[in-house]
Structure 1
Amino acid sequence: MPSVMPSSSAVAVRKEVADRLRELCRDAGFNGRELALRAGWHPSKSSRIINALTSPSDEDIRTWCRLCGAEEESADLIAATRSAESMYVEWRRLQRTGLTRLQNSYVPLFERTRVFRVYSSSLVPGFLQSRGYATALLSAITRFHGTPDDVADAVDARLARSRIVREGGRRFALLVEESVLRHRIGDAGVMRGQLDDLLAATALPAVSLGIVPAGAEREVWPLETFSLYDGEQVEVETLTASLTVTRPREVAHYLDAFEKLSGTAVYGDRARELIASAADSIG
């Protein structure tokens, strides 16, 4: 669960951008008013920007960074500004009309992505969920959030969306903590079916399934579930919201974490042994 409310987070990011622009100005040896004159702006424009009263446009940021001799900063600041208002999207708002619309909303992103990297510390990644597992999970989400019950349609949408794993032209690097194999979602039969599907998935040519063993010595602690799309966008899931990260430096941190977690994971026969062990433990 995020430590602050979504709206507060957006305000904090806007202020962070404003503070950084002020610092760039100071480091360049002039104040906001002087920068406005150099940019050909009304003096009040720079004042509004550095006081976080007005969000700068992409071009405003490029101009600001160029005049301050810090053009390398513009990409991160632009990405931060773009995501400030939408960085947290509350699940309740997304799910207001049920879960089917939410499942379908990801289709354009999935269609344009060629390399998927998914890390999950709690659940089987959606791409590999069986019908029974997805039904049990989405039913629990519907009950918890009190949203309209369209689980059957939502499951159909999720499974239809997941067919891209078998269509070719994309790569899927999927990492799960070993505990995911033992978290009971649905009844014993559902979990056995899901684990059987995971075993089968290890043979899919487009899929690399890694499992981080519970007793492994690790560089990176268990993290929140996140998905990386072509190394350009990250979606982070919390209990109440979805967080979209596009700032290059932050995306780079997630890529680094994913690589370190990948180095801790086991694959192939060793991964299949862990899946089989979890299946054997089901009562």
Structure 2
Amino acid sequence: MYVHWKKLHRHGMRRAQEEVVPLYEGTQHFRVYCSNVVPGMLQTEAYASALLSTIAAFQGTPDDSSEAAASRVERSHVLHQGSHRFALLLEETVLRYRIGDADTMAGQLGYLLAVMALPNVSLGVIPFTAERRVWPLEAFYLFDEQQASVELLTAAVNVSAPSEISVYAKAFSQLAEMAVYGSGARARITEAIASLQ
């Protein structure tokens, strides 16, 4: 299903955040790859508000970024409740792109350090210097083996065909092999925080 962002956000973005709550609550295994921004489920309210405000301005849709950011953070309760598992991959560039001011970025990066300590979260960072076996892709979310959601500039694409989901799963697996985890990921996040000074 191909849904234009402008149509989805025509009354603001808060509703779009709330509509995915059942999908989030029903998913046991999340696999998320982001090459451009911190995944929504890991965003702080300040970071989400700064990002959503820019999106509303670009799209020319109503700016309810504060309310939408609060809803986005609220839907992230799945990180701390239930038996959900999260495998998240970020390109190192995500740690360096300035969304909001330096304080907003420092808070966001600090939150990544806290979240990666959760026992149900695996957070990998694909270094700038990684030898690429898969090129940087558009952001995508895998919800169990049921759905892949892909974020394009103009639209969200929700894929449910098993053959296509398996292609995204293959890409995720190959991207995961290029990532660093644990102390390697923490070092890159810490370096990004230090660069904000």
Q: TM-score, normalized by length of structure 1?
A: 0.68
Once the two structures are superposed, the pairs formed by residues 247-258 of structure 1 within 5 Å of their partners are 247-258=161-172
Aligned length: 197
1:99 equivalent in structure 2? 13
Within 1, Cα distance between the matches of 2:192 and 2:64? Answer: 31
SS of 2:190 mapped into structure 1: helix
1:142 aligns with 2:56: yes
Within 1, Cα distance between the matches of 2:39 and 2:63? Answer: 22
2:181 equivalent in structure 1? 267
CA contact (8 A) 1:226 1:236 kept: yes
Within 2, Cα distance between the matches of 1:250 and 1:229? Answer: 13
2:87 equivalent in structure 1? 173
Q: TM-score, normalized by length of structure 2?
A: 0.98
2:158 equivalent in structure 1? 244
1:156 to 48, 60, 70: 70
2:133 equivalent in structure 1? 219
Q: Which runs of 4+ in 1 moved over 3 A?
A: none
How far did residue 155 of structure 1 move?
A: 1.1
SS of 1:209 mapped into structure 2: strand
How far did residue 147 of structure 1 move?
A: 1.1
Within 2, Cα distance between the matches of 1:148 and 1:217? Answer: 42
Higher percent of residues as strand: 2
Q: Which protein, 1 or 2, shows the higher relative CO under an 8 Å CA cutoff with sep ≥ 6?
A: 2
1:110 equivalent in structure 2? 24
Kindly provide the amino acid, as one letter, of the partner of residue 90 in structure 1: H
Once the two structures are superposed, the pairs formed by residues 58-137 of structure 1 within 5 Å of their partners are 87-137=1-51
- Residue by residue, what CA displacement relative to the aligned partner does 1:232-263 show, whole Å, maximum 9, x if unpaired? 21000011100111111111110000001111
1:15 equivalent in structure 2? none
Instruction: Report the structure number with the largest CA radius of gyration.
Output: 1
Q: Percent identity?
A: 53
- Residue by residue, what CA displacement relative to the aligned partner does 1:93-122 show, whole Å, maximum 9, x if unpaired? 100110011111111111111111000000
CA contact (8 A) 1:168 1:206 kept: no
2:145 equivalent in structure 1? 231
SS of 1:193 mapped into structure 2: helix
2:96 to 182, 186, 198: 182
SS of 2:133 mapped into structure 1: coil
Within 2, Cα distance between the matches of 1:281 and 1:244? Answer: 36
How far did residue 168 of structure 1 move?
A: 3.0
CA contact (8 A) 1:234 1:246 kept: yes
Within 2, Cα distance between the matches of 1:127 and 1:104? Answer: 12
CA contact (8 A) 1:100 1:150 kept: yes
1:210 aligns with 2:124: yes
Within 2, Cα distance between the matches of 1:108 and 1:168? Answer: 13
Kindly provide the amino acid, as one letter, of the partner of residue 109 in structure 1: L
**Structure 2, unpaired ranges of 5+:** none
